[in-house]
Amino acid sequence: MTTSAPARRRAAVLGLCASILAATATLAPGGGATAGPPSPSAAQSSQAAAPARTGTVMTRNLYLGADLGPILTALASGNAAAIVGAATQTWGAVQATKPAERMAAIADEIVAADPDVVGLQEVTEWTTFTYDPLTGAVSNPVVAYDFLDLLLDALAARGVAYHEVAGATAHNFSSPPIPILAGQAFPTAAVRLADRDVIIARDGVGVSNARTGTYTTIVSFPFNGSVLPVARGWGSVDVTTRRASFRFVNSHLEAFGIPGVDAEAVRVAQVGELLAAQDAVAAQSGVLPMVYVGDYNSDAPDAPAYSRLLAGVGQDAWTRSHRRNPGFTCCFGATVSDPDNPLTERIDLVLAGTDVKAPRADIVGEELGDRTASGLWPSDHAGVVAQLVFPASR
SS (H, E, C) 200-247: EEECCCEEEEEEEEECCCCEEEEECCEEEEECCEEEEEEEEECCEEEE
Contact 263, 220 (CB under 8 A): no
Nearest-angstrom CA–CA distance, 357 and 52: 9
3-state DSSP assignment of residue 85 = helix
- pLDDT for the residue 126: 99
- Per-residue pLDDT of 9-26, as tens digits, reads 344 433 444 444 334 333
- pLDDT for the residue 224: 66
Average pLDDT over residues 113-125: 99
Average pLDDT over residues 275-292: 98
Average pLDDT over residues 84-89: 96
Cα–Cα–Cα angle for 191, 193, 199, rounded to 5 degrees? 155
- Per-residue pLDDT of 23-52, as tens digits, reads 433 333 333 333 333 344 443 433 334 445
Average pLDDT over residues 53-65: 97
Q: Is the pLDDT of residue 386 over 80?
A: yes
C-alpha dist (Å) from residue 307 to 133, 301, 335, 381: 50, 7, 31, 21
Average pLDDT over residues 274-289: 98
Start-to-end CA span in the chain (Å): 64
- Per-residue pLDDT of 184-216, as tens digits, reads 789 999 999 999 999 999 999 999 999 999 999
- pLDDT for the residue 389: 96
Contact 28, 265 (CB under 8 A): no
According to DSSP, residue 379 is labeled S
- pLDDT for the residue 375: 98
Q: What share of the chain is helix, strand, coil (3-state, %, to 5)?
A: 30, 30, 40
- Per-residue pLDDT of 126-156, as tens digits, reads 999 999 999 999 999 999 999 999 999 999 9
- pLDDT for the residue 183: 83
E-strand stretches of 296-394 = 315-316, 348-352, 357-364, 383-390
Higher pLDDT, 111 or 72: 111
Contact 303, 342 (CB under 8 A): no
- pLDDT for the residue 33: 38
- pLDDT for the residue 5: 41
- Per-residue pLDDT of 363-385, as tens digits, reads 999 999 999 999 999 999 999 99
Which amino acid makes up residue 27?
Answer: L
Q: Is the pLDDT of residue 6 over 60?
A: no
Nearest-angstrom CA–CA distance, 18 and 9: 14
Nearest-angstrom CA–CA distance, 56 and 387: 4
Nearest-angstrom CA–CA distance, 249 and 309: 12
Report the 10 Å Cβ neighbour count for 249: 27
- Per-residue pLDDT of 326-366, as tens digits, reads 999 999 999 999 999 999 999 999 999 999 999 999 999 99
Give the H/E segment covering residue 9: helix 7-18
Torsion from C-alpha of 385, 390, 393, 394, nearest 10 degrees = -140
- pLDDT for the residue 44: 42
- Per-residue pLDDT of 234-257, as tens digits, reads 999 999 998 899 999 999 999 988
Average pLDDT over residues 268-278: 99
Q: What's the mean pLDDT when you consider all of the chain?
A: 88
Percent of the chain with pLDDT over 90: 77
Give the domains, in start order, of the chain with CATH numbers. 26-76+97-125+145-174+195-390 (3.60.10.10)
Of the candidates 263, 376, 330, which has an alpha carbon nearest to the alpha carbon of residue 61? 330
3-state DSSP assignment of residue 350 = strand
